[in-house]
Amino acid sequence: MSSTIDIIQGRYYLDNASTRPVSETLLDRFVKYSKDFPFNLSASYNKFSLDELKSDILATFNLSVIEHSVLVTASASEALSQAIVGTYLSKFSVSNKVVTTRTEHKAVLKSVEYLETIGAEIIYADCDDYGRVDLSSLRELLKTERILMFCVNHVNNESGTINPVEEIGKICSEYDVLSIIDTTQSIGKTSFNYSLIDMFCVSSHKLGGINGVGLLIKRGEAIPSIIHGTQQGGQRGGSIFAPSLLILRDLLITGPILTDIGVKTRFVFDQLDEKFDSWGILIPEKVRVPYIIPIVTSYSKVEVTQKLDDWIFSFGSSCNSSLEEKSHVYSLLTDNDVFRISL
């Protein structure tokens, strides 16, 4: 069973929510694309159609170029910052009230914290014990307050909790509130009707693509840039490296990337039974995705690391691994230490 799990530097790799390893097949294709398309996409001699490539990407989400656009970024974090900050800068005269939740990725939380310094009022939506948005409470909030936008994750990167984003999109549309959905952990794994929301993001390396490429996909008019330049119609400065973007396009066309989840899960659970006297899963699978598994034990971080010395895993978001404090998501859900297995 363990043969289905990637082994890197002699250790089981169980941190795919952080970065999914690039396969040998994709590496070979990346080399080929690098030889075939080495030039700058903004150059006058370039015959490569970025518009056609973006159209291909939209088609994978069943979206049209008439209503939607694609902005190539360096990451999903940048895409979220562009969506949140750019939207606020262009529309704060409509309302300065922004809604999110306290369990968001730091890319979102830090963006709204910045907005607060320039006059935004940040409202944190009510969630249940698993971190899911309370829809009735959200509806009442949007009904009674003039809200500019609501930003929330589809799949939480630390708990695996799934938010009902289709219903959220409908509620936001009903009250003329822009919906920004962090789909970093669900693209290629847990799909929904993307036409029901206003903006969402993609991260290449979460899919097994090349690091350093992300997307912001949005409906409607352009929003102000946060990285200035003339590329992409002035929406985002910086040269786009075609081979990396082509790999991402290919991955989106291929579809779901998950395989052997049941086999991998059984292997992980059997190993946990051998290594720990007792352990549990923080969030039941009925409300989370099967590929992100938050594990609770009575052991300290040091003890967990020692017992799992042949595993590569995390104690929360790998983006915050240098921070000593406990994950802000886990702190809201439990008093115990938690580590994350992601398949």
Angle CA 54–205–237, to nearest 5? 50
Contacts 24+ apart (CB under 8 A), 297-302: 297/336, 297/337, 297/339, 298/336, 299/337, 300/337, 301/337, 301/339
Name 72's bridge partners. Answer: 215
> Topology of domain 26-254, per CATH?
Aspartate Aminotransferase; domain 2 (3.40.640)
Between helices 24-36 and 242-254, what is the axis angle to 10°?
140
- Classify residue 89 by its DSSP letter: H
Assigned superfamily of 2-20+258-342: Aspartate Aminotransferase, domain 1 (3.90.1150.10)
What amino acid occupies position 309? D
% the chain with pLDDT above 90:
86
pLDDT given for residue 321 in this prediction: 55
pTM of the model: 0.95
Whose tokens are 């992100």? That residue is 292
Measured between alpha carbons, how far is 182 from 212 in angstroms, rounded to an integer?
Answer: 17
Measured between alpha carbons, how far is 288 from 286 in angstroms, rounded to an integer?
Answer: 6
Of residues 42 and 206, the one with the higher pLDDT is: 206
**Digit-coded pLDDT (tens) for 69-87:** 999 999 999 999 999 999 9
Measured between alpha carbons, how far is 178 from 175 in angstroms, rounded to an integer?
Answer: 9
For the chain, which residues make up each domain, given as ranges?
2-20+258-342, 26-254
Measured between alpha carbons, how far is 336 from 36 in angstroms, rounded to an integer?
Answer: 52
**Close Cβ partners of 304 (under 8 Å, ≥ 6 residues apart):** 297, 337, 339
Residue 322 pLDDT > 60: no
pLDDT given for residue 1 in this prediction: 44
- Distance from CA of residue 243 to its chain's centroid? 22
What amino acid occupies position 276? F
**Digit-coded pLDDT (tens) for 153-205:** 999 999 999 999 999 999 999 999 999 999 999 999 999 999 999 999 999 99
Tokens of 31: 């080399």
Quick one: 72 exposed, middle or buried, by C-beta within 10 A (0-12, 13-18, 19+)?
buried
Name 181's bridge partners. Answer: 152, 200
Q: 35 in helix, strand or coil?
A: helix
Measured between alpha carbons, how far is 308 from 332 in angstroms, rounded to an integer?
Answer: 25
For 179, left (φ over 0), alpha (ψ -120 to 50), or beta?
beta
**Digit-coded pLDDT (tens) for 1-32:** 456 899 999 999 999 999 999 999 999 999 99
Quick one: 160 exposed, middle or buried, by C-beta within 10 A (0-12, 13-18, 19+)?
buried
